[in-house]
Structure 1
Amino acid sequence: MEFTRMVFVTLLCLCTHATSLPNFVVIFADDVGFGDLGCYGHPSSLTPNLDRLAAEGLRFTDFYSTSPVCSPSRASLLTGRYQTRSGVYPGVLYPGSIGGLPLNESTIAEVLKPLGYATAAVGKWHLGFGPNGMFLPTKQGFDEYLGIPYSHDMGPCHNLTCFPPDVKCFGQCDMGTVLVPLMHNEVIKEQPVNFLDLERAYSDFAASFITTSVKKKRPFFLYYPSHHTHYPQYAGEGAAGKTSRGPFGDSLLEFDNTVGNLLATLEESGVINNTLVFFTADNGPSLMRMSRGGNAGALRCGKGTTYEGGMREPAIAFWPGTIKPGVTRELTSTLDILPTIARLAGAKSPPVELDGVDMTEILINHGKSKREAMMFYPTDPSEKLGLFALRLGKYKAHFFTRGSTLSSTTPDKECSMFAVLTAHDPPLLFDLEADPSEHYPLVPSGETDIPALLERIKKVKERFEASMLFGESQIGKGSDPQLEPCCSPQCRPKPHCCQC
């Protein structure tokens, strides 16, 4: 105990000295389910680099996103606040969306900038483009950005190549909008993007950012929200056809290869022992895509739902010499990443109400979580309905349940789009340690004092909802096709002329 206390004190002392500030790499996968990685039990996934992170770092079993879809979950990770506060709801942002992550929200990058951190984002932003690119990462605390500003299926893809030598993308994606652009900072580099070279470009950009930061002796924060393994899957020559899991497996392998390249760069630059690498994912698997959609393991349903499969995610923290290998079953969330990074860097937290808590004790000492509960909002949260579910300790209460198109095709009828909104009073109650699949609601028995438990849950719910001030819906502001990014803004007719 004395030793771990000394380690913790030493770490805090180091973090107060500018030249010893820790670096941070946050890796955010897309539509990766709880059961998709080798280190989480998938029998045919090839994820050797993520498996290494899990073997040599801290693997989480009870880690949650805040939303079962993309944009809200990203807003929560970067701000440490539920998406209902920032207004990134309902659903997701589109190429022509008028709104985006409000500029008065503070991101992790903005928290670190006053300490002299170099900051970069590479990959899928999906927090708005807006008029004149006003919501891009470079407007939200990031020095540099390379990526697609929204989801890569938000544009016609039927004529694009997703796998070599010339295998066209599976499906139609979104028709009637501009071709998917690749942007560097605020300038379009390619339109349409070349999927076969995309991951190599991301990997090279991220590696260059790390090496440049080290040469300049600047601490750095790299945010890498990958497009893999969101539909349509894609992979270049280094991964295509290399797994037995098909297109999803190849896409996942290419993502894992980039993780390996980042680790190699950290090692070659001599900063791996001073860098916290944190991996997780935005939401559960898109089960509507069947074998191309991912796997939630033992958890129920997937993307679009507030069942465990939609919101419980794989997560790994890796920091050689600081984080000891192990597994934690403590209740944690993407919300907790900002306060943890702020604590480790000695940065000031934003002067707003945060929903995240500091995970330092978990990371350094494998200790207890400060998180009392986890709240579950649907894709379309409203003040009228409030929370759909709440987890307190090992228990989860569902006040409302509903399936989703994104989780259709599964045998479980409760996941389907035909499973309509259903209120539960008293709420459906599950013991997630005994029943992570949420199949067997608890009934009154001698083992658990259910009335007392429900009363505790009710009080936590009432206290939380009393503190929740819904921000103006950014997605509710609507869309304007003229805002869609186009490398030839004055060309006609849009969107077909937007190619370069």
Structure 2
Amino acid sequence: MSSTTRRPNLVVIMSDDQGPWALGCAGNDEIRTPVLDGLAARGTRLSRFFCASPVCSPARASLLTGQPPSTHGVHDYLDGPHAGAASVDYLAGMPTFTDSLADAGYRLGLSGKWHLGRSDVPRTGFVHWFALHGGGSPYGQALMYREAMPEAVEGYLTDVIADDATAFIDAEHDRDEPFFLAVNFTAPHKPFAGQHPSEFTDVYRDCAFESCPQGEPHPWQPMVDGAPIGGEADTREALIGYFAAVTAMDAAIGRIVAAIDRHDLGEETIVVFTSDNGFNCGHHGIWGKGNGTFPQNMYDESVMVPFIVSGPGVTGTGTVAEQLTSAYDLPATLLELVGLDPAPFELGPGRSFAALLRGYDREERDVVVHNEYGPVRMIRSTDRKYVHRHPFGPHEFYDLSADPGERENLVDAPERAGEVAQLRRRLHRWFTEHATRDADGSALPVYGAGQLSPLGDDPLGAFAPPGWDASPDDRRSAATPA
């Protein structure tokens, strides 16, 4: 059907734990991503797109709601029951952009990871639901839910997800209604070594991995059985696995793009590619993302993610936009791109950047982005970054124009005191405006070890480590980390 008679289809493809450096079109000449490079060449790539939190579940909740974690209340990756009566829908009652698409007549599909609770219950408006049980899985086998029924799948999980996505496109292509499809890969999330087909691992057997320098281990990096918490014992095999996972995913995305083209939908389908959060493969001496250290970190490799968009109405000249944009801007942006009102998702911090993608807005503005992970908060401008750790620190300040690698913390430099104070005030004002009392994360003792339940009267209980049996009063007193 002609794109002039209906709204464009929308396909949003999301990787899992992909650093902003892990793309060929981002300047990495070691990693092979020809399909994504081609999408970028036909569309627009944002070089400074930020997640809202450098860990999975809160980042994904923000991408759907346009709200920061201190509004939607998801502050760590979700642990505990992922399905069944004991599981919780963490976004229950909270508007998402997919709700708006469903209200506008879109047919919605999900293929892959969900990780926001109740993986076995399709959300409102979804006519297709093929969701991973939890947050991660070996690549050779996985438990999925097709609609509400469990399904044990074998075969390479990246291909399983892509095959399901192409089947959805095949089934929907000739309907009168437009479709929305979320394709949520688990790649390149660990496990790394021994997980991926040899046709992809063999590509990297002789790779020097100069794009992932292995520095001295970060002093805050936890170790588990002699390996970094976000890595594996054999660093080289982990690098081979990580790079192979990205390249295998790229090939799978190629099949999804081919399905769009096979049905002549290219001129009426917007394709978006991004990731939930970033990742360090040795960068800063870390393997992992925000919870690759404790206290959690806010390095750019953790909080920036790839972002590519191609399709009708998007500048198609291989444009690279360097303006700062954030996950909480995405719902309003996607709605405006398909011709719907973005205003309901601009009541919080988010603002549509559809004009930027259409080539109408190329001016540099006084824009900052914010990030949070429990009591750790960040404000970042074009060339400055301030990280605040409630209640006592340690805090960080980086002059990114002189130190883009975030090597020298200048927070205690007397000559920088004015800049630090200004950013600190701006950070606190922003969270005062946008955080809600019941979901504010500034006093949460987030360990980076999983959130077990929604926030409530017992905030520590949502993050209690195994064996925690303190009284509610003790938990409240412990809820302010030292």
TM-score, normalised on structure 2?
A: 0.73
Map 1:431-470 → 2, pairs under 5 A: 431-441=399-409, 443=413, 451=418, 454-455=421-422, 458-459=425-426, 461-470=428-437
Q: Is 1:126–2:115 an aligned residue pair? A: yes
Equivalent residue for 1:326, pick from 319, 323, 338? 319
Give the match for residue 176 of structure 2.
Answer: 217
Measure the CA separation in 2 of the matches of 1:75 and 1:235.
28
Give the match for residue 29 of structure 1.
Answer: 15
Q: Is 1:342–2:335 an aligned residue pair? A: yes
- Checking the alignment, whether the CA contact within 8 Å between 1:56 and 1:320 is kept in structure 2 is no
Q: Is 1:148–2:129 an aligned residue pair? A: no
| Paired residue type of 2:151 | K
Map 1:275-290 → 2, pairs under 5 A: 275-285=269-279, 287=281
Give the match for residue 428 of structure 1.
Answer: 396
Percent identity for Structure 1 against Structure 2: 26
Give the match for residue 297 of structure 2.
Answer: 305
Give the match for residue 235 of structure 1.
Answer: 196
Measure the CA separation in 1 of the matches of 2:17 and 2:56.
8
Give the match for residue 73 of structure 1.
Answer: 59
Give the match for residue 149 of structure 2.
Answer: 187
Measure the CA separation in 1 of the matches of 2:358 and 2:368.
22
Measure the CA separation in 2 of the matches of 1:371 and 1:302.
31
- Checking the alignment, whether the CA contact within 8 Å between 1:57 and 1:319 is kept in structure 2 is yes
| Paired residue type of 1:122 | S
| Paired residue type of 1:118 | R
Residue 469 of structure 1, CA deviation = 0.4
Residue 452 of structure 1, CA deviation = 6.1
Equivalent residue for 1:316, pick from 294, 298, 308? 308
Map 1:344-383 → 2, pairs under 5 A: 344-349=337-342, 351=344, 353-365=347-359, 367-368=362-363, 372-378=367-373, 380-381=374-375
Query: For the structure 1 residues 393 and 253, does the alpha-carbon distance in structure 2 shift closer, same or farther, using more than 3 Å as the test?
Result: closer
| Paired residue type of 2:306 | P
CA root-mean-square deviation: 3.5
Give the match for residue 207 of structure 1.
Answer: 166
Deviations 1:254-273 (A, max 9, x none): 11011111111111211212
**Unmatched runs of 5 consecutive residues or more in structure 1:** 1-13, 163-178, 382-386, 402-420, 480-500
Q: Is 1:50–2:36 an aligned residue pair? A: yes
Deviations 1:287-343 (A, max 9, x none): 4899996899xxx98995222221111211222663232111101012222101111
Residue 225 of structure 1, CA deviation = 1.4
TM-score, normalised on structure 1?
A: 0.71
Deviations 1:112-154 (A, max 9, x none): 0121111111111111127xx4xx4x1244221213132224x
Deviations 1:376-414 (A, max 9, x none): 212x34xxxxx522113432112239xxxxxxxxxxxxx
| Paired residue type of 2:107 | A
Measure the CA separation in 2 of the matches of 1:204 and 1:440.
46
| Paired residue type of 1:438 | E
**Unmatched runs of 5 consecutive residues or more in structure 2:** 208-239, 442-450, 455-460, 463-482
Give the match for residue 104 of structure 2.
Answer: 115
Give the match for residue 495 of structure 1.
Answer: none
Measure the CA separation in 1 of the matches of 2:162 and 2:142.
19
- Checking the alignment, whether the CA contact within 8 Å between 1:93 and 1:128 is kept in structure 2 is no
Measure the CA separation in 2 of the matches of 1:302 and 1:62.
25
